[in-house]
Structure 1
Amino acid sequence: MHMFDFVFSNPFIPGFVTAILSILLVLTKGWHGKHSCDPIIGIQKFHTGQTPRVGGIAIFCGLLTAWWFSSGKEGQLLGYMLLAGLPAFAAGLIEDVTKKVGVITRLVATMVSGVAAWWLTGYSLSHLHIPGVDTLLLFVPIAVGFTTFAVAGVANATNIIDGFNGLAASTIMIGFSAFSLIAWQVGDFELARLCFVFIAVAGGFLVVNFPFGKIFMGDGGAYLLGFMLAWVAVMLPFRNPTVSVWAPLVACAYPVLETAFSMWRRYHRSGQHPGQADSLHLHSLMYCRVARVVFKDARPQLKNSMTSLFMWPFPLLAALISVFWYSNTPVLMVGFVVCVLCYRLIYLRLTQFVWCIRPATISRD
């Protein structure tokens, strides 16, 4: 084994680098906090105190460490992914510092990253097991366009669920764990080892972020890891035909459904557009209606973090479905519908205090 391959056989090294850099960013916030700290006032703000939101820097450096001390196909693939992910990471990091990068600009940046990843690796979504759609995806421009849209969607979805300590990082780790287990089962050990690196880096950030919220992932970190998660989701079935394209979709069901329902909800409210922020995400409601009540005597930081504990079963359920039935498309489709129903049931329970599928009334006010 090449001495530098030690990093890939021991992914805790990049994770350790991420954790150390995260701690350093926290300790030096007196120097950069004017630009890097997250404001405590806002419709989606549930934290207290000045907290750096540039954890993406530590995450990027952790991944860069893994690439720098690697060789072989895993290192080459990670290098391509890091290069392709630069536009998404840069747009998010600039937003973290300046607070002036619009939603559309960040969406375009993630789409540019998707196109770059296809250009560098040649991977794309070529079928969905849906008649008619699969015929269209035979045309390369359509396949690339659809892949780019899907990757940008997952990257932005990851940013949307980044609302409480540990929620985004743990969801990402669960997703990569599902992908690594599937890749391992089908013999794609290169991709499995690469997933281990992403898990370790996200874990290195998590130990500083959870439970006390000393640092936030920020848009830069969320877009970067979200892009990596999305691109592994594209590569897994492309490299391994026995893996259904629905397996990665189910594994990413939580962030995907959060985004889809958020867009639908905002559309049905007057004066709002799909990209406008609000405080009605499932995790926000879980905090207000459950975590804050169950842990009413806990410190504010812990109330924030306990929200993630209540949210973890959802991505875990989706991950288990994808791992156990990764090659069975009909079962995976049913599994995705189950995830949709679970999300809807819980959401309406938290908003209308009854177990139901449809709201009693739909108001555009």
Structure 2
Amino acid sequence: MVILLTVLTAFLIGFLSMPVLIGAFKKMQVVDKPGGRKIHKNDTPSMGGIVIVLTVLLTSFIWLDLSQLLEIRYVIAALALMFFVGLRDDLVELSPIQKLSGQFVATFMVVFMSDIRISSFYGFLGVYELPIVVSYLVTFITIIGLTNSFNLIDGLDGLAGTMSLLTLSFLSWWFISVGMESYGIFSLMIVGSVFSFLVFNWHPAKIFMGDTGSLSLGFILSVLTILFIDSNGTMSSVSPWKFNAPIASGVALMIVPIYDTTRIFARRIRRGRSPFAPDKNHVHHFLMRMGLSHDKVTITLGFIKLFFIALIFIGSQYSDYVMLPLIVGTALAFGARLDAVTLKKVKSIAKNSPPVLKGKFKKAKHKPVLDEKVAEHMQMSDN
């Protein structure tokens, strides 16, 4: 009953608050305008992450008792810090160094204060315990890397919200099942809050989460995923909730942002560009070039995410020696197939598209004659 009320409380607070924020931002003209790499067509309020995070914080103080709040106090404080970093970036764009500094401090809080870290490779490659310095370094790189990877997939209506909803639903179930109720209930609060946001963010979106939401969600997902990996990896092998491939399981939970960021960085470097140079070559962009709409792209990637979660259940008895190559290999196979199908579809669309110019040049001095429909469209645009 408490679990149901927790989710319901977070959902209702977010659901009732979001229209107020949308109306206020529209009145103040605090909107994200279309153009450039942006694929939305209308002025749309952003910073929906304000309601997401504040709903989670408020619900935490309603439903968590004092002992539970004390257990996760540094995680809550770090989430609040990431919220302000994202909010500042939405209002006045921060430099990469400033954003990384904020992420570093928030990561420091959960790693050193809450001792949430990757303490081992859990037998993979023969490593059962990492030196403390290596453990801290690996954890810092992982949290900051995953946080920014998640931030990069927030480019489509409903996509980031759906990915986080699926991951957090799994994590909340697992934490509660193994007796980590504070983290399980906290995860459920985020589930309810994100679900209420998706009501307004589903295509056509009435509001975007902005960096306020994507950085905050990416950070908390990274922290909770690392907590899952380490808790799962160090628990007794006789536990019915143990996945014998903790690293592969964690990768599967964050497979979409991990694959998308790795792929996009590799493509940019291969073409001699900076890996941080923005473009429209993300996975969701490729799916849209195949002719899929916003909601179909989100649903497609959601089912892919569910497939990988199902994979770790099916292979729960196998170690990382089996599951990690399987997870990575499957992701690469999906990606290669996606690239091939997209290229074929784009060529087909280009081949079947009507020509812009009607007729051919017979002499160099002749001017091209525009197709009537194209000319009419250009005239309307000029007006």
Q: So what's the TM-score if we normalise by structure 2? A: 0.79
Query: 1:24 corresponds to which residue?
Result: 20
Residues 83, 281 of structure 1: alpha-carbon distance in 2 compared, 3 angstrom cutoff: same
SS state of the match for residue 131, structure 1?
Answer: helix
Query: 2:368 corresponds to which residue?
Result: none
SS state of the match for residue 28, structure 1?
Answer: helix
Residues 183, 87 of structure 1: alpha-carbon distance in 2 compared, 3 angstrom cutoff: closer
Shift of residue 327, structure 1, vs aligned partner: 5.5
Shift of residue 6, structure 1, vs aligned partner: 5.0
Structure 1 unaligned runs (5+)? 292-302, 355-365
Check whether the contact 1:56–1:218 (CA below 8 A) recurs between aligned residues.
yes
User: RMSD of aligned C-alpha atoms?
Assistant: 2.4
Check whether the contact 2:118–2:139 (CA below 8 A) recurs between aligned residues.
yes
* 7-16 or 215-224, which deviates more: 7-16
* 190-199 or 249-258, which deviates more: 190-199
Pair 1:14-2:10 in alignment = yes
Q: Using the alignment, how far apart are the partners of 1:322 and 1:342 within structure 2?
A: 17
Pair 1:87-2:81 in alignment = yes
Q: Using the alignment, how far apart are the partners of 2:150 and 2:88 within structure 1?
A: 17
Pair 1:39-2:17 in alignment = no
Q: 1:16 is aligned with what amino acid? A: L
Q: 2:249 aligns with which of 241, 247, 250?
A: 247
Query: 1:332 corresponds to which residue?
Result: 323
Q: Using the alignment, how far apart are the partners of 2:332 and 2:71 within structure 1?
A: 33
Q: Using the alignment, how far apart are the partners of 1:180 and 1:204 within structure 2?
A: 17
SS state of the match for residue 338, structure 2?
Answer: helix
Shift of residue 250, structure 1, vs aligned partner: 1.2
Check whether the contact 2:60–2:189 (CA below 8 A) recurs between aligned residues.
no
Pair 1:238-2:230 in alignment = yes
Check whether the contact 2:3–2:185 (CA below 8 A) recurs between aligned residues.
no
* 23-32 or 169-178, which deviates more: 23-32
Query: 1:269 corresponds to which residue?
Result: 271
Query: 1:288 corresponds to which residue?
Result: 289
Partner deviation per Cα, 1:126-168 (whole Å, 9 max, x = no partner): 1234437x47x62212211211111111111111111111110
Residues 260, 108 of structure 1: alpha-carbon distance in 2 compared, 3 angstrom cutoff: farther
Q: Identity, % of aligned pairs? A: 20
Pair 1:140-2:136 in alignment = no
Check whether the contact 1:18–1:58 (CA below 8 A) recurs between aligned residues.
yes
Pair 1:156-2:148 in alignment = yes
Q: Using the alignment, how far apart are the partners of 2:156 and 2:184 within structure 1?
A: 28
Q: So what's the TM-score if we normalise by structure 1? A: 0.83
Check whether the contact 1:92–1:219 (CA below 8 A) recurs between aligned residues.
yes
Pair 1:68-2:61 in alignment = yes
Residues 310, 238 of structure 1: alpha-carbon distance in 2 compared, 3 angstrom cutoff: closer
Residues 268, 25 of structure 1: alpha-carbon distance in 2 compared, 3 angstrom cutoff: same
Pair 1:320-2:310 in alignment = yes
Shift of residue 195, structure 1, vs aligned partner: 2.2
Shift of residue 108, structure 1, vs aligned partner: 3.5
Paired residues, number: 332
Query: 1:209 corresponds to which residue?
Result: 201
Check whether the contact 2:10–2:193 (CA below 8 A) recurs between aligned residues.
yes
Partner deviation per Cα, 1:71-106 (whole Å, 9 max, x = no partner): 1444334432121123332222222122x2233432
Larger Rg: 2
Check whether the contact 1:22–1:58 (CA below 8 A) recurs between aligned residues.
yes
Q: 1:306 is aligned with what amino acid? A: K
Check whether the contact 1:115–1:144 (CA below 8 A) recurs between aligned residues.
no
SS state of the match for residue 290, structure 2?
Answer: helix
SS state of the match for residue 291, structure 2?
Answer: helix
SS state of the match for residue 157, structure 2?
Answer: coil
Q: 1:304 aligns with which of 273, 290, 294?
A: 294
Q: Using the alignment, how far apart are the partners of 1:50 and 1:76 within structure 2?
A: 42
